[in-house]
Chains A and B, each alone.
Chain A
Amino acid sequence: MSIELRNVTKQFGQVAAVSNVSFSVNEGELMALLGPSGGGKTTVLRMIAGLEVPTTGDIFIRGQRVNDLSVQERNIGFVFQNYALFKNMTVFKNIAFGLKIKKWKRADIKDRVHELLQLFGLEGLEKRYPHQLSGGQRQRVAIARALASKPSVLLLDEPFGAVDAKIRQELREWLVTLHHDLNVTTIFVTHDQEEALEVSNRIVIFSRGHLEQVGTPREVYETPANEFVARFIGVMNVLDAEVKGGVARVGELQFPAPGRRDGSKVRIGFRPYAVQISTDLTLYPYRAVLRHTFFLGIMLRLELELASGLILRSRMTKEEYAQLGLEDDREVSLQIRNFRILSSDTSALSPEQEVQHLMPPTIGEHI
């Protein structure tokens, strides 16, 4: 185990930025700390680095309790959101800084810096100053500097936040490759769920200082631990329904909810891809009108309005859209293939349910 947090709380005045968080990171893992801004993820990262001190709880790095170790003694590499390169130093001196402080021999420093310059594709830039570099180059210098003295952990705060969208994609792929090559335990902070899903081995999800779930990208996407995670990871349709006779009803939609009390409120959640659409109005049980189509590249997002006024979101490829012969304001029939009951009273989620064959046959009467 490379890093472990046990019941860590960080209080800023009256506000708990992080409350009672425990998780561990395995050696060589690429871990994402994900959550909306103000969720406490950066504070967690800074506590691991030693830039903040936990109010209560313990932090271990490679089995050693590091609470009382200073930043300098923790042997971590930290990459700041805006890189924090030394403006008055060249690329070479930036990368060499930590080695000089650690009193490496001159020749060794030179060798190590050149090794890093080569590894990071920065050859020929060693005499440049930070303001003479592009955003991507700056980030690579910052990571090279953090890795120079071979830290046991690499910590990155919003590593892709400060570059534009196109470079961001390249940098993501590059980070994955780099991590694969160096195999150093890496933790990065992001508020972008897509980024976390794409880049990391495992994700820790925070909201308002609480840990919501730890898991692989697949786990958090497919089996979210609670409503927050379900809504935060990917897009989800969420509807408030009321149970009557074992069926949760909202507008004309009906979802089987066996064992639930009559009159109890439940929240129904389903992914956009669970909404199936046909232009054959008799194929699926519900009727809706396609209100808007949003172009997202290969994928399209569809906004559908049911007769009762409920709005559902669906998603399909351009090809599927063309095959179906869809266009805005077209009347369609739809069904919801599977859904979850996101109960608000307990944090646990019910397992996903297949709906298709459970759909009450009486549904036609409602339309």
Chain B
Amino acid sequence: MSAPPSTTRRNQSQTHRQSRRGTEESPLVKWLLITVALSFCTVFLLLPLANVFVQALAKGWSFYVQSLTHPDSWAAIRLTLLVAAISVPINVVFGIAAAWCIAKFNFRGKSLLVTLIDLPFSVSPVVAGLMFVVLFGAQGFFGPWLEAHNIKIIFAVPGIVLATVFVTFPFVARELIPVMQATGTEQEQAALTLGASGWQTFWRVTLPSVKWGLIYGIILCNARAMGEFGAVSVVSGHITGLTDTMPLRVEKLYQEYNAPAAFAVASLLAVLALVTLGLKTLLEWKQARAYERALRDSR
């Protein structure tokens, strides 16, 4: 109250000039944070990634193509695609079913189910692999029975698929649960009152309304399925040309001091990662654009 009016006026004009919100950090802090974040990304993400491609092509294109078409590497690529082609659809079906029952029903043990879905995220992949060895290995729980019926799971493709399914289990469900919870059940009830059967309702109403979440979940699930190392390493037995997936093949080549070939296979995995990221960004961009267009049209 006792302050002269001139002071007040000067203070006002100052705040006006900076036009900064009261909750905002000072410019120094802002630029410092941006610099730290960007240099961190460059040093730990961009440089290594670029290095993969540089190393892969160090001995020229022909060596690069040769490394990839080497029978053992080619077998690893095919196995990886096969494993992804089996485990991703399994997890899509499971993910939709789990998300559906969690989002739409109330039942005893629901929170337990939600926790269980997250389990593969919290368990080390190596432990996950070991669990399957203990269950299905020669000395394992089902081992004698499996051997008697001449079924091979550990050190064979079924084991690799099992381990991959376990590790990639949460991706689709995790993406779908919030989307389905937000959508609620009214649209489905509306479809029922309009004469649709449960199946028709699922295909025409439920699935389209969670389309983007589902696609996003599938992309992430696929990326992890192809890139998984730890769990697969434990159950595969590293039989060259038979049970080596791409990540295992990369490691093996590297251990054999064949770094250029290792990087060549690794670059394929890296390309997959980049394609995944690109698709994800494209999806988000398309969604945002559709939303903006909708907003504009509604005006």
Contacts and interface: CB of A to CB of B under 8 A. Distances in A.
Interface of A: 49-51, 71-72, 76-78, 80, 82, 84-89, 97-98, 101-102, 128-129, 131-133, 145-146, 148-149
B103 to A, nearest CB: 16
A78 B193 contact: yes
Contacts of B109: none
9 interchain residue pairs of minimum CB distance: A98-B194, A84-B186, A132-B298, A78-B193, A84-B190, A88-B208, A71-B192, A101-B195, A72-B195
20 contacts: A49-B193, A51-B189, A71-B192, A72-B192, A72-B193, A72-B196, A72-B197, A76-B193, A78-B189, A80-B190, A84-B187, A86-B191, A86-B209, A88-B209, A89-B208, A97-B204, A102-B195, A132-B298, A146-B193, A146-B194
A264 to B, nearest CB: 50
A84 B192 contact: no
Contacts of B45: none
A101 B183 CA distance: 22
B24 to A, nearest CB: 32
Given A80-B186, A132-B297, A149 B193 contact: no
Contacts of A97: 191, 194, 196, 204
Given A82-B186, A87-B187, A101-B200, A77 B294 contact: no
A101 B186 contact: no
A132 B294 contact: yes
A51 B294 contact: no
B190 A78 contact: yes
Nearest to A87: B209
Contacts of B205: 86
Interface core residue of A78, A80, A85, A88 (most chain B CB under 10 Å): A88
B294 A129 contact: yes
Nearest to A88: B208
Contacts of B297: 128, 132
Interface of B: 183, 186-187, 189-197, 200, 204-205, 208-209, 211, 294, 297-298
Contacts of A71: 192-193
Contacts of A148: 194
Contacts of B191: 86, 97
Contact of B194 (A88, A133, A149): A149
A102 B196 CA distance: 8
A342 B183 CA distance: 47
Nearest to A129: B294
Given A49-B193, A71-B193, A87-B187, 14 more contacts: A50-B193, A78-B189, A78-B190, A80-B186, A82-B186, A84-B190, A85-B187, A86-B209, A87-B209, A98-B196, A128-B297, A129-B294, A132-B294, A148-B194
A131 B299 CA distance: 11
Among B190, B192, B193, B195, the most chain A Cβ lie within 10 Å of the Cβ of B193
A112 to B, nearest CB: 13
B187 A98 contact: no
Contacts of A132: 294, 297-298
Contacts of B195: 72, 98, 101-102, 149
Most chain A CB inside 10 Å of its own CB: which residue of B186, B195, B196, B209: B195
A146 B193 CA distance: 8
A97 B205 CA distance: 10
Give the residue among A72, A76, A89 with the most B Cβ atoms within 10 A: A72
Contact of A101 (B187, B196, B209, B294): B196
A145 B183 CA distance: 19
A131 B194 contact: no
Nearest to B291: A131
A146 B195 CA distance: 11
**Most chain-A CB neighbours within 10 Å: which of B192, B194, B208, B294?**
B194
A131 B294 contact: yes
A88 B214 CA distance: 15
B199 to A, nearest CB: 11
B294 A88 contact: no
A80 B185 CA distance: 11
A88 B186 CA distance: 14
A86 B196 contact: no
B215 to A, nearest CB: 14
B298 A133 contact: yes
B178 to A, nearest CB: 16
Contact of A131 (B192, B196, B211, B298): B298
B194 A101 contact: yes
B209 A51 contact: no
A84 B196 CA distance: 15
Contacts of B196: 72, 97-98, 101
Contacts of A80: 186, 189-190
A280 to B, nearest CB: 56
Contacts of B194: 97-98, 101, 145-146, 148-149
B196 to A, nearest CB: 5
A341 B197 CA distance: 54
Contacts of B187: 84-87
A88 B191 CA distance: 13
Nearest to A76: B193
Contacts of B204: 97
A71 B192 CA distance: 6
Contacts of A49: 193
A77 B298 contact: no
A222 B193 CA distance: 37
A128 B293 CA distance: 11
Nearest to A134: B298
A148 B194 CA distance: 9
Contacts of B189: 51, 78, 80, 84
B292 to A, nearest CB: 12
Contacts of B298: 128, 131-133
A132 B297 CA distance: 7
B297 to A, nearest CB: 5
Nearest to B185: A84
A349 to B, nearest CB: 39
